[in-house]
Amino acid sequence: MEGSRGGRAGRRPPSRGGPCSGRRAVTVAALLLGGAAAVAAAPGGPAWVAPLLGRRAGRAAEAAVAAASAAAGAADAAAEGQRGPPPVRIGHGWDIHRLSTRAEAGQGCVIGGVEVDCDLGVVAHSDGDVLYHSATDAVLGALSLPDIGQLFPDTDPEWRGAASEKFLEEAWRLMDERGYRIANLDATLVLQKPRVAPIKDAMKENLSRVLRVPLPYVNVKARTHEKVDSIGEGRALSCHVVVLLERK
């Protein structure tokens, strides 16, 4: 009869393979191999089981493993294709420059876009703004882009004495065209001198302006290096910046 168990119409259609079909095949093959091995090892077991275990069952297991690997690979590829841009990205930037006299450096000391009132100069190809350089690298790093030295090499005469705001502007442009904005930025200046407490607010305002981010989402801290190494001896200054980007 058409609806009977034995009839063709009553049979279930063959199931389609999915991401787990390969794993089911491996499980079945493993059970078959385990059963055959048990029979072969039993006292008085049939002599034909061992050759079968070495030939047919072995080939079945290899085929099952291959099927499982292919299924898993297809599932991974599908998941990768469905994954969109991450909702947030984190970047870290660090920079250090040597300090000297203004005469040797050929320029003054600029930090966070502010000309510091001191007798020191930053030895650098550009204006040597460690805060802007670190912030630029933090944004580029969060976007998985080349670092500031690759985008603006110190071997290029175009950047000789350049204002580092240009670098930070470019980092913002690259971030904006990829659909991100600054969620927050935290900077830590590490220097024995010059003193930057009087210009902290001005540095924060500059970062807020260049990166188009509300002022409360930007922070600038400063600490000495306890007179340790070149920074502590006042022969260098450095900066760390951590930035969190979010999708617009």
Candidate from 58-72, 83-97, 202-216 with smallest mean pLDDT: 58-72
- Is the pLDDT reported for residue 188 higher than 90? yes
- Is the pLDDT reported for residue 210 higher than 70? yes
Superfamily of structural domain 88-247: 2-C-methyl-D-erythritol 2,4-cyclodiphosphate synthase (3.30.1330.50)
pLDDT of residue 46: 52
How far CA 94 is from CA of 21, 30, 99, 147, in Å, comes to: 49, 54, 16, 11
Candidate from 8-12, 129-133, 176-180 with smallest mean pLDDT: 8-12
| Beta carbons of 144 and 129 less than 8 angstroms apart | no
Question: What six digits make up the tokens of 168?
Answer: 């930070």
What average pLDDT score do residues 185-207 get? 97
Q: Which residue has the higher pLDDT, 171 or 18?
A: 171
pLDDT of residue 83: 82
Going by pLDDT thresholds of 50, 70 and 90, the confidence category of residue 127 is very high
- Is the pLDDT reported for residue 190 higher than 50? yes
pLDDT of residue 77: 55
- Is the pLDDT reported for residue 18 higher than 70? no
- Is the pLDDT reported for residue 31 higher than 60? no
DSSP the chain: -TTSTTSSTTSPPPPPP-TTHHHHHHHHHHHHHHHHHHHHHSTT--TTHHHHHHTHHHHHHHHHHHHHHHHHHHHHHHHHHH----SEEEEEEEEEEEEEEHHHHTS--EETTEE--SSEEEESSS---HHHHHHHHHHHHHTT---HHHHS-TT-GGGTT--THHHHHHHHHHHHHTTEEEEEEEEEEEESSS--GGGHHHHHHHHHHHTT--GGGEEEEEE--TT-HHHHTTSEEEEEEEEEEEE-
pLDDT of residue 7: 46
pLDDT of residue 82: 74
- Is the pLDDT reported for residue 184 higher than 50? yes
- Is the pLDDT reported for residue 9 higher than 50? no
Q: Which residue has the higher pLDDT, 195 or 66?
A: 195
pLDDT digits (tens, 9 = 90+) for 69-122: 566 556 555 654 678 899 999 999 999 999 999 999 999 999 999 999 999 999
- Provide the whole-model pTM: 0.68
Q: Where are the domains of the chain?
A: 88-247
pLDDT of residue 19: 45
